[in-house]
Amino acid sequence: MSKKLTIGLFGYGVVGTGLYDVLHKSKTVDATIKKIVVKHKDKPRNISSEHFHYDKNEILQDEEINLVVELIDDADAAFEIVKTALEKGKAVVSANKKMIAEHFEELYELQKKHQVPFLYEAAVCGSIPIIRNLEEYYNNDFLQSIQGIVNGSTNYILTKTFQDNLSYEEALKEAQEKGYAESNPILDTGGFDARSKLQILLTHSFGITTKPEEVFNVGIQNLGDLEIKYAKEKNLQIKLLAYAQKRNEEEVIALVIPKFVKSTDTFSTVSDVFNGVKVQTAFADKQFFYGRGAGSLPTASAVLSDISAIAYDYRYEYKKIANSENLKLAQDFPLKVLFRHKAKDSQNFENYFEEIEEFYGNREDAYFVGSIRFQQLKDVFTKHQDEVSFVLIDIL
């Protein structure tokens, strides 16, 4: 038996307007939005101003509101809203991956202490129901790996680079003009957005909770002509992947990194702002999820799904956290990469590699193809991140 939900909505931007629309069209969810709290009073909106309030306590102190839906950009403000709502015994739905990734352990404890659900399907891959599947469908299977194209902005840029032969700069500019990338796009292009999503996936896949600085991320902002030329000559594409793989009974490899993908790889079919997630398990083998990772209605559909689930008292059980006491992030493993750098620095970088299979250089730039230990890769990237580029070929 479902219960009636009275919603307090924070945020009326792209996703908030989408939710308002889909909720009013839905015939199956017994929920109404009582109040909407927004930041800017004078911003033009598509519904009457009488719906809007400007003080968070209008929702948080309203005892009739039993569900808070948080859809704002500010991660710090979002955390204070979600924390207070949970403390007051209100169920919460959020789409804020940065907030969840940065504060997961406290949010997890608040859910347990106050016995209220906190759902966030829309925080990872928009319309793709990956978290619910990891919690339910893969609950009793032995998950071996999960990897995904989880950021639509970077995938759009890479699609335009490979399919339309635009330069990286041209593709980024087009993404910004279409609203897929911000004026300062480093959260997307630097792999930070993908890192937040990977942190959440790690929890629901393997039961590992992490701090942002514990998960290594390399973005696409330094990709140059040599890497792109190498890929095209070998009929490959480059995709920014969030990657997690169980290495043994004690370690999970986790990183965000650009990777060469073959034309036969399912990821090669994921274009523009779409997302794709590949799961491998011991019993079900490989399965692939594909869908829109962003946008008003696709993301709103994931929020609506969480609202519907809360109406039936659904909550994440986090069983994998209880069973992951011995698991930790792997810190020492070999990778095969293409490493592009300034030609004048080739000799200095050789010592970082265990083996170099291929070398190419011109007057300005050069690259190695070879194997390098993870700690060595991190060391090079930390010291020279504005001057070098890594593209993963394989984890060895």
Q: Which residues are catalytic?
A: 197
The beta-strand segments (E) located in the chain are: 5-10, 31-37, 52-53, 67-70, 91-94, 118-119, 143-149, 216-217, 236-246, 251-262, 274-281, 285-292, 328-329, 334-342, 353-361, 365-373, 389-395
Q: Are strands 67-70 and 5-10 parallel, antiparallel or unpaired?
A: parallel
Q: If DSSP codes are grouped into helix, strand and coil, which group holds residue 64?
A: coil
Q: Which helix (H) or strand (E) holds 309?
A: helix 296-311
Q: Residue 386: which residues within 8 A CB-CB, separation 6 or more?
A: 222
Q: If DSSP codes are grouped into helix, strand and coil, which group holds residue 93?
A: strand
Q: Please, what is the Cα angle at 156 between 151 and 158, to 5 degrees? A: 100
Q: Residue 31: which residues within 8 A CB-CB, separation 6 or more?
A: 4, 5, 6, 7, 23, 67, 307, 311
| The amino acid at 214 | E
What percent helix, strand, coil does the chain show, rounded to 5?
Answer: 40, 30, 35
Tally of residues, the chain = 396
What is the rounded CA–CA span in Å between residue 26 and residue 297? 13
What is the rounded CA–CA span in Å between residue 205 and residue 162? 31
CA dihedral 75, 85, 21, 73 (to 10 degrees): -10
φ, ψ of residue 311 to 5 degrees: the values are: -60, -25
DSSP structure class, residue 354: E
Contact yes or no for 175/157 (Cβ under 8 A): yes
Q: Residue 103: which residues within 8 A CB-CB, separation 6 or more?
A: 79, 83
> Which residues lie across from 3 on neighbouring strands?
none
